[in-house]
Every structure is written in structure tokens, then in C-alpha cells.
Amino acid sequence: MKELAIYLAFIIFITVIIPIALIKGYDLVMKDEKKIERVEEEYTVKVYNTKTGKVQKMKLEEYIKGVVAAEMPAAFHIEALKAQAVAARTYAVYKMEKYPNGDPDHPQAPLCNDVHCQAWLSMEELLDRHSQDWMDKYWGKIEAAVEDTKGEIITYNGKPIEPLYHSTSGGMTEDSEAVFANALPYLRSVESPYEDGAPRLRDTVEMAMDEFIGKIEGKYPNIKLTKETLPHRIKLIERSESGRILKLQIDNQIVTGREIRELFGLNSTNFTITIVKDEDKIKIETVGYGHGVGMSQWGANGMAKKGSTYREILKHYYTGVEIEQLRMEN
């Protein structure tokens, strides 16, 4: 009887217990596979291509390589490229969290390949824009900058920031509320002293006085100017601490520096208007290039050449932030 009981127990073990264990194990594997697929899915970005009108799907890290190549000169120091990679990755995550179903301006996807979001170029576009020699020289460097910072994002109070960036600040970045609607604690004005060599650090736009007056009156019908009255009817009302013009009074109307920048295609709102009467022209001199908020790309390169790491660069330009590993929810 004892031998029979042992034999029956063995048969039950073989025919019932082991299959159940195998099924459970298979179920766990399947769950893990589904979990992996879900995580990979969350790391996939959707980008609306403004040229083709189609949505492209790609892995986050591959997308970041195309952004770094499009947004920053590949000849920059590797630490500057790493800073750009982390900023670009953070911006992508920020947009995907804010607009999971699509940006209001392009509801097909949270991101686009244009400067409305951040520029992105495919390998084919990079080859068309540059050359195979450029690809051979720089693509490995871009890949290294992205892979060495894989999954890293910038956070403030544990949440991804909106990491705005621009080409050249002209010596000091700008507070966010001086340019955009919101005052963000991590987008504060900071010094950016290492921008020597930036091609658009300083620029001059010249035009005839009649052209200047025509553009002003075309934009603001209530303003009336003549060559004789012009010198007395342009007054500076307010500059920010960084030197950018916030408000001007032209004749009887208050206009913003941002409006004047857009009207005349200026590089920045840090400008000076000079009336050259004997030459019958207007000269507008600008300092910096871009909106001036967040990270200065040329400043980042300057810091990198002075020995700063990408983390130090990011923490300089974005106040009170942390660099964290991107965590996906299970």
C-alpha cells in the first residue's frame, strides 16, 4: 500500500503539478514580455513631419540623435553636445506628457520636426545638408553624446522641465516672463560669459529712413512719423536686467521689443536704434541671437571648453534643477 501511495503521488506530480508550474512560468514570461513591450512602446516618440504631413514613429534615443545634429553644431565640444542631448530628451518627454494626444498646433503628434518644437533631421536630410565626409567625421560623436547620457532628463521638483534653449545670449540669459507668459523658477537670468566666436553675437541691420517709417506705420496705423519728427518720437521705456528691450514708445504708442524684433527680423531684442541723419538711414545693432531664455548653446560650448561637464552646464543655465534617469511606469 505504501509503495502504491508513493507511485500515485509521483504520477500526480508528473501529470498535474509540473504542467501547472510550467503554465504559471509561461504566464510570468508572457507578462514580462508584455511589460517590456509596454516600456518600449512608451519610449517610442511620434513626430509630425511638417514637410510630408505624415507622422513618424521612432525610438526616443534615435530621435534625440537627429535633434542634436539639427540643433547644435557637431564641431562643438562633446560636453556641450551631451548637454544638448539631455535638454532635447527632456523637451521631448515634457511635450509627450503635456500633449499625449497631440499638440494643438499639430494634433497628429506631440512633437514636430520644425523649430516650433525642436528641429529634427533624418539621416537622408543630414546627408543632403552636409556630406558623407561630415557624417564620417561627426555622426559617431553625436551618437556618443546621446548614448553617454541615455535616458537622462532635467527635472525640477521631480518633474521634467520645459528646457528652452537658444543660440547666443549675448552675455546674460533672460527670465522666462520677460519673453513668454509664465515665470518659471528654473528659467532665471544667468550670466553667459563664454560666447566668443559665436557668429551672431553681434549684428547690424541698416535701412533707409523711409523704409523704417513705412514698416512701423504699416504695422501700427495709429503711429504717424516723418523724417523730421522721428528722432523725437522713439523713446526707450524699459529694458530688462539682461539688456533686452521690453518696451518702447513710438509716437503715441507703446510697443514691445519682441514686436520690433519680429517686424525687422532682428537677431534678438537686445538692440539699439541709431538714426544716421546725414546718410538718411536707420542702423539697428543687436547683441545675441534667439529669445535668450534657458541654455545658450554657444555659452554651453564655451563652458565646455573651459572644463565644465554637461551636468554643470545644465545646472548653470537651468536654476535649481536635477539630472535624473527617466523612469517609465510599470
Task: Report pLDDT for 330.
Answer: 37
**Rounded distance between C-alpha atoms, residue 232 and residue 212, angstroms:** 15
> Is there a contact between 316 and 304 (Cβ–Cβ < 8 Å)?
no
Mean pLDDT over 95-112 rounds to 94
The radius of gyration of the chain from alpha carbons, rounded to an integer in Å, stands at: 28
Is the pLDDT assigned to residue 132 strictly greater than 60?
A: yes
Higher pLDDT, 215 or 27: 215
**Rounded distance between C-alpha atoms, residue 150 and residue 291, angstroms:** 28
Indicate yes or no: pTM above 0.75: yes
Task: Report pLDDT for 29.
Answer: 36
Higher pLDDT, 25 or 215: 215
CB half-sphere exposure, 55, CA atoms < 13 A? 13
pLDDT per position as a tens digit, 142-160: 999 999 999 999 999 999 9
Of 25-29, 59-63, 65-69, minimum mean pLDDT range: 25-29
Residue where the block lists cell 531664455: 293
pLDDT per position as a tens digit, 280-327: 999 999 999 999 999 999 999 999 999 999 999 999 999 999 999 987
Distance, CA of 51 to chain centre: 20
DSSP 49-106: ETTTTEEEEEEHHHHHHHHHHHHS-TTS-HHHHHHHHHHHHHHHHHHHHH-TT-BTTB
Write the burial class of residue 26 (CB in 10 Å: 0-12 exposed, 13-18 middle, 19+ buried): exposed
Task: Report pLDDT for 15.
Answer: 53
Is the pLDDT assigned to residue 104 strictly greater than 60?
A: yes
Mean pLDDT over 109-124 rounds to 94
Q: Which of 3-7, 42-46, 174-178 has the highest mean pLDDT?
A: 174-178
DSSP 22-64: HHHHHHHHHHHHHHHHHHHHHTEEEEEETTTTEEEEEEHHHHH
Q: Which residues of 100-126 are buried (b: 16+ CB within 10 A; e: fewer)?
A: eeebeebeebbbbbbeebbbbbeeeeb
What's the CA angle centered on 170, arms 167 and 171, to 5 degrees?
120
Which amino acid is residue 235, in one-letter code?
Answer: K
